[in-house]
Amino acid sequence: MSQSTEFATNSNPNDDYLPSNLSLPTYIPLHYSLGSNFNKILQSGSRGNDLTPQALKQHINLVNQYIDHIISNDSLDFNENILNNYLKTYKNLIISKIKLSQIEKLSNETILKQYISPNLNLNLTNLDEYHQSVNPSVEEFISSKENELISSNYQINQFIKSDKLYQLLRSLTFIMKNPEDPVPDEDNDDDDAIGISGGKVSLKDPITLNQFVEPVITSCNHTFEKSSIQQQMLTHRYGPFECPISGCDSVLNSNSFKIDKLMKARVKAFNKMEKNKDDDLDLVN
C-alpha cells in the first residue's frame, strides 16, 4: 500500500491505486474505423446475423404443423403443456424481435451518428468541448433508451393482439377447458368477467343445426359447415351470394372461406369432455 500514499487523498479503499483527481471521460468517441463495426452490431438483425428472425420463422412452422396435424387427425387431441410452451416461446421470440428492431432504429439517432463519426477532429484540447456539445451524453442516451425498451410493453401488446397465430394458440389453450365459451380478451384480468359476458359459442352449423365436422369461417367471421356452404354456392351457381346469417350483409364468393381451426378444436375438446363424462358414468354403473 506504501506506493499509493502520494495519491491517498480519497478515503475509499477501492480507489487506493487511482489518483483522486483523475478525470476519465464519461464516454470516449469510437475511432471512425470502429464505427462501421458498431453499426453492424446495431443492424445485426436485418443483416441476418441475429438468430431471432430465423428462430421465429422455425417456431411458426413448428406451431402450424402441430396445429394442422392435430386438427386433421380425429383420433388426436391437443396437449395442454405443448400448447402452453409454444405460446410462451412464441411470445418471447416476438418480444426479442421487437426489441431487436428498436435497437436497430437507434443507429439512425443523430447522437449515435455523432458518436461514431464526430464532426470535430478530436484531440486532447477539444475533447472537453466535444463532450459538452453532445447532450445528453451517449451514456445517458443509451441508458434512457434501455429503459424505454424494457417498458415498451405497448408495442408488444399491439403486435400480439393483431397476430393471428398468437391469438389462435392462446384461444386453443383456453377452449381446451372451455369449448363453448367465447375467448376472453388478454387485457381482461378479471376472471369473473368471463362468466358475466355470458353467451355460449354454438358448435352447430347455423343452416343444418348439426354439430360441425368440417367448419369453415367466412371473411365476415361467421362459421358454417363446409357442405352447407358448398350447397349455397351450388344454389347460386358459384356466383356471389349474401352471407346466410340474417343481419349480415356481407357478399361472399368461393374465395371467402377458410378452415375454422379454432371451431374444429372446440368440437374436438367438447366431444372429448362428453366422452370423459360418459366414461365416468360407466364407472359408476
Contact status: 203 vs Zn ion (CB under 5 A): no
Which residue among 222, 264, 266, 268 contacts Zn ion (CB under 5 A)? 222
Contact status: 267 vs Zn ion (CB under 5 A): no
Contact status: 248 vs Zn ion (CB under 5 A): yes
Q: How far apart are CA 224 and CA 163, in angstroms?
A: 24
217 or 273, CB closer to Zn ion?
217
User: Which span (6-14, 23-31, 82-90, 221-229) binds Zn ion, by CB under 5 A?
Assistant: 221-229
Q: How far is the CB of 187 from Zn ion (least distance, A)?
A: 26
Q: How far is the CB of 243 from Zn ion (least distance, A)?
A: 3
43 or 223, CB closer to Zn ion?
223
Contact status: 243 vs Zn ion (CB under 5 A): yes
Contact status: 207 vs Zn ion (CB under 5 A): no
For 171, the grid coordinates are 384461444
At 68, give phi and psi (nearest 5°): -65, -35
Q: How far is the CB of 281 from Zn ion (least distance, A)?
A: 39
Which residue among 28, 193, 220, 251 contacts Zn ion (CB under 5 A)? 220
Q: Are 211 and 180 in contact (CB under 8 A)?
A: no
User: Which span (104-112, 168-176, 223-231, 241-249) binds Zn ion, by CB under 5 A?
Assistant: 241-249
Which residue among 56, 250, 259, 272 contacts Zn ion (CB under 5 A)? 250
Q: How far is the CB of 219 from Zn ion (least distance, A)?
A: 8
Secondary structure, 3-state, 159-194: HHHHCHHHHHHHHHHHHCCCCCCCCCCCCCCCCHHH
Q: Are 61 and 147 in contact (CB under 8 A)?
A: no
Which residue among 245, 259, 272, 273 contacts Zn ion (CB under 5 A)? 245
Helix (H) or strand (E) holding 251: strand 251-252
Helix (H) or strand (E) holding 224: strand 223-225
In the shown chain, the binding pattern of residues 162 to 201 toward Zn ion, with x for contact by CB under 5 A and - for none, equals ----------------------------------------
Measured from the Cβ of residue 243, the count of other Cβ atoms closer than 10 Å reads 19
Nearest to 225 by CA among 237, 236, 214: 214
Query: What contacts 26, CB < 8 A, 6 or more positions away?
Result: 131, 137, 139
DSSP state of 215: E
106 or 245, CB closer to Zn ion?
245
Residues that bind Zn ion (CB under 5 A): 220, 222, 243, 245, 248, 250
